[in-house]
Structure 1
Amino acid sequence: MWTTIFIVIYVVIALAIVVSLLLHGAKPSKTLSWLLAIFTIPVGGILLYLLLGRNRRKNKLIRIRDEALPKIPESSGILMAQAEERYRKLMRLVYKNSQFPPTDKNRLTLLKNGKSTFESIFGALESAKIQIHLQYYIFEDGELANRLLHLFERKIAEGVKVKMIYDGIGSFSLSKSYLKKLLEVGVEVYPFLPFRFGRFLSSLNYRNHRKIIVVDGKIAFTGGINISDKYLKGDPVLGKWHDMHLRIEGPAAAHLDHVFAMDWHLVCQKSIPPLTQPVIAMDNHSSGKLVQIVAGGPDDDFPSLEQTYFTIINGAKDYLYVTNPYVIPGQAIMQALQTCARSGIDVRLLVSENADNKIVNWSVRSYFETMLKAGIKIYLFPDGFLHSKIIVSDDAVSTIGTANLDDRSFEQNYEVNAVIYDRDFARLLKEDFLRDANISRMLSYQEYVDRPFMEKLKEGFGKVFSPLL
């Protein structure tokens, strides 16, 4: 009897999922894969689908009320009109997807590796007069965390309001004792979708991968660096941890603050009141940069970061240089990269030779043969682990942020990038890329084709699981 009841319930649930897949499946290939899994893996197929397979663009994870967020000033359209014609399409795309217009008069500082990044961050935090907003995917106990705690305590005593978000899974190791200390000194702190059995299946796969700090609405930081001592001391297994971060002073900082406000409402359903004191805008500086913020997540109607990367790749005329540790491209990005290289454009990819995850590394390398055959030059960075997420093209446009070139960043994670339309800044990133490429090993097509059979087998295994990584 109980067996019959179980089978009936299982069939009803399976049929309900089938209907949902037919109505809301994002991609035919994935829809077919999930249908096969549900009917060939008893129980496990349904659990995997509930955990990893639901289309969040149709079934919103969390909805935000417009009135809960600060208003973004209307774009005059002048900056888009003055920009190079080939980048107006990209600007319009980002604006339609994220509602952030390009802003000028921004002062940018490129921060390479942990030491320079945290020196700049702590300097900005010390200058705070009104508020500090901070959110990270990984926030770990250690010297950096303790230093932040003491700084927060001092600034709160001075009347500065401090708000903090940490990802519930990425920062799973963050101790309860540290969180208690934050609350005791007056920090408002919330986790993003923490591990809870009641919503385990609906939220585990959807993470906030953003790294944002905003001070008084006018100085902001974003990029690939998390709050972890490994950025200063290195990793005991991988060695040095290389990464890139960006300091923004100017109107684009306020747009990053808007992203934080959206996430703040997600974690606690509270709105952030407008600043009670005027924020002094950056002076009209001759070296001000044109910057546009692009934010994306599984609740958006379109994959904002994927479309941004796709447009930058397709817009390349002379060269396209990509630094990223997790290049697991979907069909659209792979076709764009191949088309770019096959049309004679200098396409180069810089990835870490060492990896922090074996299966992810196998998956990344499973795409190398196709890329090399298309003419894409691949460089393996040998010194520690390279974690930067950067694209630069044609001495004209570049992007730095949190998004990798994989489906997780495009479909499951909440991410944010800065797109910079500036020749001097693009050349700076290009020079940095070439310096790293010069100390890296360039992979040849023949060398890769002749790799051992077991490596090919591991990569095939990794490629099968790449949509889930």
Structure 2
Amino acid sequence: MFLTILLVLYFLTAIILVMGLLVNGARPTKTLAWLLAIFTIPVGGILFYFVLGRNKRKNKFFELKKTPGISEYLNKVDDYYRKLDEEKVLPEHVREQVKLVKLLTKSSKFLPSAGNALLPLKNGPSTYTAIFDALENAKKYIHIQYYIFEEGELADNFLQLLKRKVKEGIKVRFLYDGFGSWELSRAFIQSLESSGIEVAGFLPMRFGKFLSSLNYRNHRKIVVVDGSIGFTGGINISDKYIKGDPDLGMWLDTHLMIEGPLVRSLQAVFAMDWCFASGKEDVLSAEHFLEETPVGQSFAQVVASGPDSDFASVRQLYFSIVNSAKQYVYIINPYIVPGEALLEALQVCALAGVDVRLLLSSKSDSRLVKWSVRSYFEDMLRAGVKIYLYPEGFLHSKVIISDDRLTSIGTANLDVRSFEQNYEINVLTYGEAMACELKKDFIRDCEISSEIDYNEFRKRPLTERLKEGAAKIFSPLL
């Protein structure tokens, strides 16, 4: 009798999941795969679906209350979007990119802004020096958010500085991802809290919510000081950026320091994540979104998305940059698992005569990721995409440069996980100065890297092809 009840409950659950897939399913191939898993893998198929398969764009983790301030801002976004067609609201050098501006404004809901001072930070030491200097000069508040906050010398320096700032009367809020920072000890967190620092974990690894949250992580790295200076990019808090790693060597990455009106967008992303993780809405108050005086010449836009965003804005950003490139598109990224649409865009771009180059590390921090990334090489090389393997340390940057006009620096990898499962944030800069500066660095790095030859790559052993094929199956989960 008990077994019969279990079977009935199992099949009822399966039927409910199937109905959900049919109503809310995404791609037909993905829907079919989940249907087969549910009915051919007893119990495990349903568990896998709960962990990996649910469509959070349909069933959101979190949705902000439409406060008067938020409604006013969204109306401002809609009004700006309409004016892009009616008036010349964009600087002259950006007008040719009006289609991209419209796309990102509509999908990500962040307005572009002029008058920003943007400084690319090209390694760990320079990034931490700039962040610590900004923290030392904080007068009102400090907001810190990291995917990985790893204990060590660097974390201890952060802790001591933050404690000192709290004693000075500075409000400090600290947000970490529950999975990325799972090694962060309770003692360290308690040391933060006992000092008067507000701490929140994003989707913490708790038993009751383990299945529902394991696959959805907050991969963002954000620091905002007094609403006037901000930082974002690929660099986490870890000693491997200053001391290196025994196996991979020094971790190399790119970050961005921002001053000017764009910091408000960075603040808004932190505020939404803080509200979700802590349950507190205090950071949404107007005092954290004061008008900033223009301090530079850069025109830029924040692009943020997550599993419960209305659109996969970061994927749309990458796709649009590649699709619109006329002369070149240069990509630095450690995890290039593009999926069908972006793979097709890269191939079309290269076949059309555009100089498409990918720069990634010759080393990998994961064997599964390594073989999954390599499984896409042959298709790209055949189309004329040039692939370079960087020999020194582990290249962890997430940068795209195109046509001396567009530069994207951020947290998002070029893979399905960043597009679908992770909360990510990138900054897109419109203009020559940033693009040309990073283009020079890119070309110099290519010169010391080894380029993969298509004909030689085709001769790789069958064992490698089998590893690539097996790893490719898991690419949507990486």
- Is the Cα–Cα contact under 8 Å of residues 333 and 359 in structure 2 kept in the other structure? yes
Note the alpha carbon deviations across 1:94-127, whole angstroms, 9 max, x for none: 1111211111111111101101000011011111
Per-residue deviation, 1:5: 2.3
Per-residue deviation, 1:308: 0.8
The 3 A distance-change label for structure 1 pair 386 and 284 is closer
- C-alpha separation in 2, matches of 1:426 and 1:442: 22
- C-alpha separation in 2, matches of 1:334 and 1:277: 40
The reply to whether residue 433 of structure 1 matches residue 436 of structure 2 is no
What corresponds to 2:3 in structure 1? 3
- C-alpha separation in 2, matches of 1:445 and 1:409: 28
- Is the Cα–Cα contact under 8 Å of residues 251 and 393 in structure 2 kept in the other structure? yes
The reply to whether residue 325 of structure 1 matches residue 334 of structure 2 is yes
Per-residue deviation, 1:204: 0.8
Per-residue deviation, 1:152: 0.9
- Is the Cα–Cα contact under 8 Å of residues 86 and 315 in structure 1 kept in the other structure? no
Note the alpha carbon deviations across 1:27-64, whole angstroms, 9 max, x for none: 11110111111111111111001100011111112222
- Is the Cα–Cα contact under 8 Å of residues 123 and 253 in structure 2 kept in the other structure? yes
- Is the Cα–Cα contact under 8 Å of residues 341 and 375 in structure 1 kept in the other structure? yes
The 3 A distance-change label for structure 1 pair 275 and 149 is farther
The reply to whether residue 237 of structure 1 matches residue 238 of structure 2 is no
The reply to whether residue 203 of structure 1 matches residue 184 of structure 2 is no
- Is the Cα–Cα contact under 8 Å of residues 220 and 424 in structure 2 kept in the other structure? yes
The 3 A distance-change label for structure 1 pair 197 and 283 is closer
- C-alpha separation in 1, matches of 2:452 and 2:250: 22
SS in 2 for 1:66: coil
The reply to whether residue 382 of structure 1 matches residue 411 of structure 2 is no
Per-residue deviation, 1:281: 3.3
- C-alpha separation in 1, matches of 2:90 and 2:312: 22
- Is the Cα–Cα contact under 8 Å of residues 69 and 261 in structure 1 kept in the other structure? no
The reply to whether residue 149 of structure 1 matches residue 159 of structure 2 is yes
What corresponds to 2:382 in structure 1? 373
Matched ranges for 1:285-296 at <5 A: 285=296, 288-296=297-305
The 3 A distance-change label for structure 1 pair 370 and 69 is farther
- Is the Cα–Cα contact under 8 Å of residues 135 and 211 in structure 1 kept in the other structure? yes
- Is the Cα–Cα contact under 8 Å of residues 218 and 279 in structure 1 kept in the other structure? no
- Is the Cα–Cα contact under 8 Å of residues 69 and 262 in structure 1 kept in the other structure? no
| Regions of 4+ moved over 3 Å | 68-79, 81-86, 273-285
What corresponds to 1:53 in structure 2? 53
- C-alpha separation in 1, matches of 2:114 and 2:459: 50
Matched ranges for 1:257-336 at <5 A: 257-271=267-281, 272=283, 274=285, 276=287, 281-283=292-294, 285=296, 288-336=297-345
What corresponds to 2:180 in structure 1? 170
Q: Which amino acid aligns with 2:26?
A: A
Matched ranges for 1:69-468 at <5 A: 72=73, 74=76, 79-80=89-90, 82-271=92-281, 272=283, 274=285, 276=287, 281-283=292-294, 285=296, 288-468=297-477
5+ residue gaps, structure 1, are none
Per-residue deviation, 1:4: 2.3
Per-residue deviation, 1:302: 1.1
Per-residue deviation, 1:284: 5.2
The normalised TM-score by structure 1 is 0.96
What corresponds to 2:21 in structure 1? 21
Per-residue deviation, 1:66: 2.7
- C-alpha separation in 2, matches of 1:68 and 1:414: 25
- C-alpha separation in 2, matches of 1:428 and 1:194: 39
Q: Report the RMSD for the aligned CA atoms in angstroms.
A: 1.7
Q: Which amino acid aligns with 1:84?
A: V
Per-residue deviation, 1:329: 0.8
The 3 A distance-change label for structure 1 pair 464 and 162 is same
- C-alpha separation in 1, matches of 2:273 and 2:288: 23
Of 333-342 and 3-12, more deviation after overlay is shown by 3-12
- Is the Cα–Cα contact under 8 Å of residues 201 and 278 in structure 2 kept in the other structure? no
Per-residue deviation, 1:20: 0.6
Note the alpha carbon deviations across 1:222-246, whole angstroms, 9 max, x for none: 0000011110000111111110000
Note the alpha carbon deviations across 1:346-387, whole angstroms, 9 max, x for none: 000001110001001111000000000010000011111110
SS in 2 for 1:415: strand
The 3 A distance-change label for structure 1 pair 383 and 184 is same
Per-residue deviation, 1:274: 3.7
Q: Which amino acid aligns with 2:261?
A: P
Q: Which amino acid aligns with 1:433?
A: F
- Is the Cα–Cα contact under 8 Å of residues 271 and 284 in structure 2 kept in the other structure? no
Per-residue deviation, 1:407: 1.0
Q: How many residues align?
A: 467
Per-residue deviation, 1:11: 1.2
Per-residue deviation, 1:199: 1.2
- C-alpha separation in 2, matches of 1:359 and 1:202: 24
- Is the Cα–Cα contact under 8 Å of residues 94 and 430 in structure 2 kept in the other structure? no
- C-alpha separation in 2, matches of 1:273 and 1:387: 32
- Is the Cα–Cα contact under 8 Å of residues 340 and 347 in structure 1 kept in the other structure? yes
The 3 A distance-change label for structure 1 pair 68 and 35 is farther
- C-alpha separation in 2, matches of 1:68 and 1:264: 19
Of 267-276 and 384-393, more deviation after overlay is shown by 267-276
- C-alpha separation in 2, matches of 1:193 and 1:199: 8
Per-residue deviation, 1:201: 1.2
5+ residue gaps, structure 2, are none
- Is the Cα–Cα contact under 8 Å of residues 79 and 102 in structure 1 kept in the other structure? no
The normalised TM-score by structure 2 is 0.95
